[in-house]
Structure 1
Amino acid sequence: MIRAAIVGLGGWGRRLVVAVQEDGQPRGSEIHFTRAAVRSAARARPFADRQRLQLGSFEECLVDPAVDAVVLATPHSAHPGQVRAAAAAGKHVFVEKPLALTLVEAESAIAACAAAGRVLALGHNRRFLPAFRALRELVLAGELGSILHAEAMFAGAFGLAYAPDAWRAGDADAPAGGLTAMGIHSLDALIDCLGPVEDVTAQSMRRVLTIPMDDTTSAMLRFRSGPSGHVATLMATAWTWQLRVFGVRGYAVMPDETSLQVVERSGASRLFTFPVFDTERAELEAFARAVRGDETYPVPLGDVAHGVAVLEAAVASIRSGGVRMSVGGEARNPHEGSC
């Protein structure tokens, strides 16, 4: 059983904890949260007591020999420094996406964990969805033929719920509206299926939000393997997750997280449905197995760094008024391996 400390007990930090334990009791045999690092102990106390978490500082978690790993649910800009500190303290690290906001910072965090011999895992939980894994496999198997185009949409009313001073709404941690926190999932999914992105052209607007955050962000992508792509993220509408991949033989679409429709060029259509799946539990348990050395965590760090590079290029394109930007960093060729 891996003993972990959760760093940050906001809404998502709490979601990660309850994914693997209830009232302090582990749901499985892989991972157990025993400590929490928070800024406000009084605010976190009721949840921490219920989950039997010892409250303290990040630094106290790092020096505790009873903590094997830290799970970071903290502001994006804080991730690189916290990852480096955890690696230096000999802790394995699971961190929410994005790993960083620049490629240089992402690579420094990856290098720190590699030098320390510690596992670094990213919370790209959509990779664990059975529907997405099925879509990815049919793309890699060539069932859609040569891929022409792919597009992804991740939208919700998240921006309408943020307070003006929320860290998720500030330019320091959300320089491209929802692309930073939500659209990064879409980028990662497309990179997993199609490989590295060559260049990106992006735009971002604030249509209805009154907080300092854009609500409408989109990016056109060109993949090195040839296809075009499009990613859109909306922060002030009904929730949806959609992913489409178009090939010369037909197309596949995830209209939501539990369905996959495959439409052949002839018009024949197949619909597959999958059960609701706890991706947060799946990713944390996969992290625990990687820490024990039982398996490799299924999100390659090359893909992680490349996703940050795409995000960085998109932000640069937005700030330049829509200039096409080249993307640095090398993602894994998805045809060289599988999840």
Structure 2
Amino acid sequence: EFAAAMCRPKGRIVLVGVAGLNIPRQPFFEKELEFTVSSSLGPGRNDPSYEGKGRDYPIGHVRWTMQRNLEAVLEQMSAGALPVERLTSHRFAIDDASRAYDLLTSRTEPYLGIVLEYPKDPVSPARVIGAKSPRADKNRVSVSVVGAGNFSRLVLLPILKRLEGVELRGICTGKGLTAAAVADSAGFSYATTDIDEVLGDRDTDAVFILTRHDLHGAQVAAALASGKAVFVEKPLCITLSELDAIGRAVSANSRILSVGFNRRFAEGTRLVRDHFRGSSPLTVSYRFATAEIAPEAWPQDLEIGGGRIVGEACHAIDLCVALTGSPVARVFAEAVAPVGSIRTRDDRVFITLRHENGSTSSVAYQAAGDAGGPRERVEVLGPGRTGILEDWDRVELWQGGRVVRHRTRKDKGHAAEIRAFVDVCKKGGDWPIPWEHLRSTSWAALAAVESLRTGFAIDLETAFD
């Protein structure tokens, strides 16, 4: 009210900081006043591209950004023009914090700023909680898990705990409290916030990596280099350079690498593959209906989540590779036009794949349609045969004018893929997914994104030029 009374007609009142917003209507109406709230620190505040990725605003367009404001203030402080030390009237060691609060409440002497000081050489906090002693049974596979999100806690850990011959060794997360809680509830030997503790643990045989997508590439390469068997949830990586680095790590190490392309391990997939065994070339049509997510969500960010093609449509691409039994040689992608209310395009896309053995596949990856409708449908056609897989619990196999129908439990292959990985860790043998398929699926997803960007088909033989 005081600000409104002081302001001239048609003036502007700016709120700096935090205050109540019970604005009286009458003086604002009579004087036609303007009220605005000042963003803290300056332009760039609350902008994810500026704050999270360091993308500055051109100085010719925005002179005083948040960063430049801070730089100017620090320069003034360094030059002595802003003697901020005068703002501090009292200092107390953290052990004497009670004296500081007594000063505040007793008001026995004047004070301005009160600082609580910690020791100059504090003891480093523990990075590992729990026993890290050698495992008791050398005949068991000892696994450590990096990441404790919903998939890790609700899908992976229950499966691992049901498998015989598996010892839960270490759990690593970004937050110590989360790591300790998961270790306690799941029965891990130790909890840590440092992945290097896991990679350096000689009693960890295999590492499951379930972190944010942009961390996968470097963590997979580091885990392979440390001599661990590695299972990483999809995607394997989000850039071609990461894929190339992982390829070098695979060549330099003999340990197994697998990726969470679970659909190729589903019971329905096994039935269809057996039906077409020995048949080639095949034509695969895969409709993958998925839920819409906001454009600003992290999976949509190419630098963090890799985008939805790399982050999720890779499932469909890998299944096409598995069904045809052949890596991808050529990729072309086409998305819906940016018209009407369309805010994202790479989650409403058709991806055409040409395989090395002459087979072709078409993936319709669509974040559209009714949420209650069918989600996934796969149709395979080969010489004299047809196979249909519907929503992972219904299979039709056609040959000679006759059809055999199967009803299975709704199974997307998670348990089978993890069991296959653990079995190879224990007994050796062929990888559950050949490296050629892992590399091909990852490349094809990245190539689809590039095809959308350029409007051209992308050939494998030019991908790593």
TM bracket (short chain): 0.7 to 0.9
Cα distance, 1:155 vs. partner? 2.3
Check conservation: 2:212, 2:305, Cα contact below 8 A: no
- Equivalent position to 1:184, from 294, 314, 321: 314
C-alpha contact (below 8 Å) 1:241/1:255 kept by paired residues = yes
Tell me the equivalent position of 1:232.
364
1:131-184: CA deviation from partner (whole Å, max 9, x where unpaired): 101211222233xxx545211122222x43x69453x23122444x43222221
Distance 1:329 1:9 in 2: 38
Give the number of the structure whose alpha-carbon radius of gyration is greater. Answer: 2
C-alpha RMSD of matched pairs (Å) = 2.8
Name the residue aligned to 1:337.
Answer: none
Show the counterpart of 1:39.
174
- The 2-side partners of 1:310 and 1:122 are apart by 15
Task: Report the residue type matching 2:148 in the other structure.
Answer: L
1:248–1:105: structure 2 CA closer, same or farther, 3 Å change rule?
same
Describe how 1:237-316 pairs up with structure 2 within 5 A.
Answer: 237=369, 238=371, 240-264=375-399, 266=401, 268-277=402-411, 279-316=413-450
Percentage of identical aligned residues: 26
15 and 245 in structure 1: CA distance in 2 versus 1, 3 angstrom threshold: same
TM-score (normalised: structure 1): 0.82
SS in 1 for 2:303: coil
1:280 deviates by 2.4
Match of 1:4 among 124, 143, 152: 143
Amino acid at match of 1:112: A
Alignment correspondent of 1:333: none
Q: Counterpart of 1:219 in 2: which secondary structure?
A: strand
Partner of residue 130 from structure 1, selected from 263, 267, 272? 267
The 1:318–1:249 alpha-carbon spacing in structure 2 relative to 1, beyond 3 Å, is same
CA distance in 2, matches of 1:109, 1:30: 28
For residues 278 and 242 of structure 1, the distance between their equivalents in structure 2, rounded to whole angstroms, comes to 13
Kindly indicate whether structure 1 or structure 2 has the higher relative contact order, using CA contacts under 8 Å at least 6 residues apart: 1
Once the 2 structures are TM-superposed, how far is the Cα of residue 43 of structure 1 from its aligned partner? 4.4
Q: Structure 1, residues 22-49: CA drift from partner, whole Å, max 9, x if none?
A: xxxx312132333211112334554443
Distance of aligned partners of 1:310 and 1:182 in 2 relative to their CA distance in 1, 3 Å threshold: same
Q: Which residue in 2 is equivalent to 1:334?
A: none
Sort the Cα spacing of 1:32 and 1:223 in 2 relative to 1 into closer, same or farther, 3 A.
Answer: same
Residues 19 and 243 of structure 1: CA distance in aligned 2, closer, same or farther (over 3 Å): farther
Q: Distance in 2 between matches of 1:48 and 1:251?
A: 48
Q: Distance in 1 between matches of 2:435 and 2:253?
A: 15
Gaps of 5+ in 1: 331-339
Counterpart position of 1:55: 191
**Structure 1 residues 302 and 148: alpha-carbon distance in aligned structure 2, compared to 1, 3 A threshold:** closer
Q: After TM superposition, give the deviation of residue 19 of structure 1 in Å.
A: 3.2
The residue identity in structure 2 corresponding to 1:231 is: V
By percentage of residues, which structure has more strand? Answer: 1
Q: How many residues align?
A: 316
TM-score, normalization by structure 2: 0.61
Report the Cα distance in structure 2 between the residues aligned to 1:55 and 1:200, rounded to whole angstroms. 43
Q: Secondary structure at the match of 2:276?
A: helix
Show the counterpart of 1:222.
354
**1:214, 1:199 → 2: CA distance?**
18
What are the equivalent positions in structure 2 for 1:136-147 lying under 5 Å apart? Answer: 136-142=273-279, 147=281
- How far does the alpha carbon of each residue in 1:251-292 deviate from its partner, in whole angstroms, 9 at most, with x for none? 2110121221123474x3221222344732322222222122
Q: Pick from 112, 132, 137: which aligns with 2:249?
A: 112
Stretches of 4+ moved more than 4 A in 1? 205-210
Verify the 8 A CA contact 1:110 1:120 in the aligned structure 2.
Answer: no
Q: Which amino acid aligns with 1:76?
A: H
Structure 2 unaligned residues grouped into runs of 5+: 1-139
- Is 1:197 matched with 2:331? no
Give me the whole-angstrom Cα distance separating, in 1, the residues matched to 2:382 and 2:206: 42
1:324 and 2:463 aligned = no
Cα shift at 1:232: 1.9
C-alpha deviation, 1:109, in angstroms: 1.4
* Residue in 1 that maps onto 2:117: none
- Distance in 2 (CA, whole Å) between partners of 1:62 and 1:10 is 20
Higher mean alpha-carbon deviation, 41-50 vs 247-256, is at 41-50
